Amino acid sequence: MPAYKLPSNQFDHFYKGGNRIGALRHGPGGPMRPEEWIGSITTRFGEPRMGLSTLPTGELLIDALKANPEQWLGSEHLATYGVSTELLVKLLDPDQRLPVHYHPNRKFAKEHLSLKHGKTEAWIILEAPSDAYVGLGFSEEKTKKEVAAMVDARDSDGLLASLQKFPAKPGDAILVPAGVPHAIGAGIFVLELQEPTDMSALLEWNDFAVDGVKDGHLGLGFDTVLDALRYTPIEKDEAQKLVTPQRLFGQSDAAVFTQAANPYFRADYLTGKASKIEAGFGILLVLDGSGTLTFDGAEKMDVTKGDAIVIPHANGNWTLNGASGIVCRPPDAQFASLAI
């Protein structure tokens, strides 16, 4: 079974951006296409097909997985997770800051939306302005009543100011647990890993092309969806597990996230100096240079900057030479019980 170079998979969103995606991925880019969903078996919320990745053969990746699940995912992954990659990878290129929003955890999603997954996510900062920051969690503990009042008042400034700010520099990695309110500043180019769902609850939407009153609460109403929000701040000890500076662009291969991400996904920065990865489903984004992927169980592949390659388990162990990039992988099965 071959690995495949994925064609661009973009569609319009409610916020502006996308030109850097077009430049990197040889795709259409902006001005209202600030996201690309890479290796996606997830549909946009409420849509039957939008969001699904297509292989160069014209077949949907999700259909290919269902046809040959053990070859794609491996027996251990199948036994633990079934026919699911457990992963959604995105490029985000916002030309305006993202609104303050959050995502439910698995317990809430199961009880209220009949979904298996929540939406813990993580950002790998590829490019950022010198003064860039992200908002992550409230800086002081809030009550549901206080936040509901700000939402009702359309207090965008107050909600943004209520977040704790963290600098965002190229190479940084930031884990965002489900329930934590957050916002990404304008101009930050991000590779995002997340659980394979598309569900966001908005707290503000004044400057965005979305009707938050209608679409900001996942169809549950704000009184219900606000029960999925975390009102306590992220303290220093927790922040050290979530925010890891300078994980990219070094001279050695390195895991991108701390162990806090293990129940949800894995990512490794590969220098391309004989970088080796064990057999398993993976999505490789080449960030720089040109080189070769060599597989134990498949023919080698030439790769270059901007290529996004989906790699089946059946290809065996593999090595990247001559080009650098990030490989995104599902969680290790031994950590499955720790996801919340």
Please, which pLDDT band fits residue 307 given cuts at 50, 70 and 90?
very high
- Please tell me the chain's helix, strand, coil percentages from 3-state DSSP, rounded to the nearest 5: 25, 30, 50
Polymer length in residues for the chain: 340
What pLDDT was estimated at residue 32?
Answer: 85
**Spans of all domains in the chain:** 9-55+87-244
3-state class of 298 per DSSP? Answer: coil
pLDDT in tens, 70-90: 999 999 999 999 999 999 999
Residue 148 vs residue 26, higher pLDDT: 148
The CA-atom distances, in angstroms, between 143 and each of 146, 223, 278 are 5, 13, 46
pLDDT in tens, 271-282: 999 999 999 999
Please, which pLDDT band fits residue 29 given cuts at 50, 70 and 90?
confident
Q: Are 52 and 41 contacting, i.e. CB atoms less than 8 angstroms apart?
A: yes
Q: Are 290 and 327 contacting, i.e. CB atoms less than 8 angstroms apart?
A: no
Sheet with 88-92: list strands edge to edge: 35-38, 88-92, 189-194, 121-127, 173-176, 243-244
| The pLDDT of residue 18 is above 90 | no
pLDDT in tens, 109-164: 999 999 999 999 999 999 999 999 999 999 999 999 999 999 999 999 999 999 99
What pLDDT was estimated at residue 28?
Answer: 81
d(CA 287, CA 269): 10
The structure tokens 């070769």 sit at 292
d(CA 300, CA 317): 12
- List of residues 6+ apart from 49 with CB closer than 8 A: 43
Of 145, 141, 74, 136, nearest to 103 (Cα)?
136
Superfamily of domain 9-55+87-244: Jelly Rolls (2.60.120.10)
Arithmetic mean of pLDDT, 205-223 = 95
